[in-house]
A and B are shown apart, each in its own frame.
Chain A
Amino acid sequence: MMKGYAGRVLEIDLGARTHRYVPLDEEIASLYIGGKGYGTRLLYDRTEPGIDPLGPDNPLIFATGPLNGSVAPQSNRFAVVCKSPLTGGIGNATCGGSFAYAMKRSGVDVIVVSGRAASPTRIEIDGKTDEITFLDAQDLWGKGTYETQQILGKKMKHAVVGPAGENRVLYAGIVSDERIAGRSGVGAVMGSKNLKAISLEGNRKLEMDDPDAFKAYTKTVRTLFAEHPHLGSSMKRFGTGGIVNTTNARNILPTRNFKYGHFDQAMDISGEYMEDHELKGVKSSCIHCPVTCGRQVEVEGKGVVKGPEYETLALMGSNLEIGDLKKVDEWNYLADDLGMDTISLGATLSFAMELGERGMLEVDVSFGDPAGVSELIRDIAHRHGVGDELANGTKRMSEKFGGTEFAMHVKGLEMSAYDPRGSYAQGVEYATTNRGGCHVQGASMYLESVGPLTINPQNLKLKADIPVVQQNLACAINSMVLCIFTSYGMIPAMIHNMDPSSFTHRMLSKAVENLGPLFRLSQSIKGKPMLWWEKWMTQITGTPMSAGHIQEIGGRIFNLERMYNLREGLGPEHDTLPDRMLYEPTFPGMTSGHPLDQLLPRYYRNRGWDAGGVPTPKTLEKLQVQV
């Protein structure tokens, strides 16, 4: 058995109420690692083209990777893969908490849930005895994710859906602890299977190739993280909300349905403000994570609960022109409890507000006014009234009511909170990422517009290179499965602590900006493991892993996702940005929007795709992508 893996896949047929354990496919594991990569391979191989994402033929795949179950910082996330009901293409999401750790200790790498239960059902997996129990969940149906987990108790770890998933809201997520696998509508797929919860426990140990080296090195990494200006300091103090004032100052904070990039009240919804006025505690709800980016705030009538993260602060704050943090706290709690992705929810609400303002939709919410928003969020989750329309997301709403030019989605997935008009590489990433308009499938913005480097985010240099490297890296990270925040540690403390206007800093940024193809070349070298995830993978699995290996595997996963999308009819014509991003300038002197038309052909070339955006046979062969 491969080291670092439990060695088993659990296949569950909900319709037949049967299960079986099968050996992990070692060839897939060696080519795709685990997590998202393994899940994507299974999805591609096991499904016919054109299946209904909300039908019984769409498998819901929960997958861990070799780093899960270990004590490596930021290593306890699981991936969920299925066909997305929101985009019709590849769907995936990852989630922190403690479920991944427990899943691995229950002796399972991957759980494939297929079919559909006849009535609301939940599943318990006892990893000590390998006993699987199908239980009636009628009494839990309709309950929120927090109450559901409370009823299920603390003995096991749970992955559950709320009313949004049950009612097939197309951006429903799967909640575990206080975390959510939010994107792509994975919760709607779980709800469509009448599956309310998966609970599991176990006490099996992870077998490593070199446990002593792993233990010693992990201690070093913990120290590195503790001393890192972002992971060890600002993330701890301000959570991810510490980025609000930065994106606002860079004019890329979504405001009024992405009409603008600057919000006058941004400071009132920032992580710094939260720390000073509302913070009730700092919490790492992800097991073994020293970063503790989680916030705790108080919501009236609910007590101390998880606070909003950056994406929620932006999409449900500035993007709705709401500068009242208490309101965002409340909506964040509500969305988590109902089981909805706050990025898609916030963007859909702002789209509805703009439609309403233009007289294209009758809706009782408007920009800058919190009245009616809580009620509408509940209506979305329960598909009541106009909420039933919003439950389908911006793409479908724009097809029905108009406004495609200001419907802020890519491929059907609502865009995250970094305006690409001030972050060109991020724009290319949004346009090309296989699951749609998302930021954590590469996080290019960290290198160009919010992190410590000061490269120019508004020229063409490197903007078609950064996304390739970052998307590949993210594919690998989501397959190990690590948190994408781990990649923020790549830029050493020394650079963070430099004066950005100093000669050295400016020269460094200039040098990086002008590296061009060297940037990608430097990532293709299969040498010794250098970064922590490469070393951990080597120590745990015994297979040497370096930046070159990571890029190759990540590229393989990305191209397989691409081939899946092409198979499902989500072609290169969907590699685009909303018209508002392409044609409406937000910076003085800017005559248009994001220059995607100039960057996309370069991106395709860098990927080894033809001019039409299709991976060439040579590229697929080189990466060993079998389709």
Chain B
Amino acid sequence: MSVTVELSYDMSKAYGERRIELPQAENVKAAVAQVEAAFRERGQELAPLSRVTAVAINGVLVQHRRGMRTPLRDGDTVAFVKAASGG
């Protein structure tokens, strides 16, 4: 199994990479926990960067699935989403 986590821009600046590949993650909550651990290993904190950030699986917000308990499948992409405006 492999899950790709795409970080937000601010997160990627802090972490030093844009994506984190996870070999195993049962659900979104577990994936985010692994990302938090990866940040800590590099002396960074994820929480301040994810405070007003939603989470999406393959483009769909977890709110519209089963929240943070949404199971993950091989090949899924988890992304942190900031609200934005523009045109």
Q: Which A residues lie at the B interface, using CB under 8 A?
A: 230-231, 234-235, 239-243, 245-246, 248-252, 261-262, 267, 270-273, 276, 293, 309-311, 416, 422, 439-440, 443, 446, 450-452, 454, 456, 458, 484-485, 488, 496-501, 506, 509, 586-588
Contacts and interface: CB of A to CB of B under 8 A. Distances in A.
B66 interface: no
B56 interface: yes
Given A240-B86, A446-B85, A451-B83, A500 B9 contact: no
Contact of A450 (B9, B12, B85): B85
A239 B86 CA distance: 8
Interface of B: 6, 8-10, 12-13, 18, 51-56, 58-64, 67-68, 76-77, 79-87
B87 A246 contact: no
Given A240-B87, A273-B9, A249 B51 contact: no
B86 A243 contact: yes
Contacts of B10: 272
B63 A454 contact: yes
A261 B84 contact: no
Given A450-B86, A484-B87, 6 more contacts: A240-B87, A242-B84, A242-B86, A246-B81, A451-B85, A501-B68
Most buried by B among A239, A250, A273, A456: A250
A439 B6 contact: no
Contacts of B59: 249-252, 261-262, 422, 586-587
B86 A310 contact: yes
A506 B63 contact: yes
B64 A439 contact: no
26 contacts: A230-B83, A230-B85, A240-B85, A240-B86, A245-B84, A246-B81, A246-B83, A249-B8, A249-B81, A267-B18, A272-B10, A276-B13, A293-B86, A309-B86, A310-B87, A416-B87, A422-B59, A439-B87, A450-B86, A451-B83, A456-B64, A497-B52, A499-B51, A500-B53, A509-B63, A587-B60
B87 A440 contact: yes
Nearest to A502: B52
Instruction: Give the dominant DSSP class at B's interface.
Output: mixed
Contacts of B56: 249-251
A249 B63 contact: no
A507 B18 CA distance: 32
Contacts of A276: 13
A488 B85 CA distance: 7
A447 B82 CA distance: 14
Contact of A501 (B12, B55, B77, B82): B55
Nearest to B75: A588
A454 B85 contact: no
Contacts of A240: 85-87
Given A311-B87, A588-B58, A499 B52 contact: yes
B81 A501 contact: no
Contacts of B58: 251, 587-588
A497 B9 CA distance: 18
Contact of A249 (B64, B67, B79, B86): B79
Contacts of A587: 58-60
Contacts of A506: 63
A500 B63 contact: yes
Nearest to B83: A452
Query: For B51, B52, B85, which residue has the most chain A Cβ atoms within 10 angstroms?
Result: B85
A310 B85 CA distance: 10
Contacts of B9: 245, 267, 270, 272-273
A250 B81 contact: yes
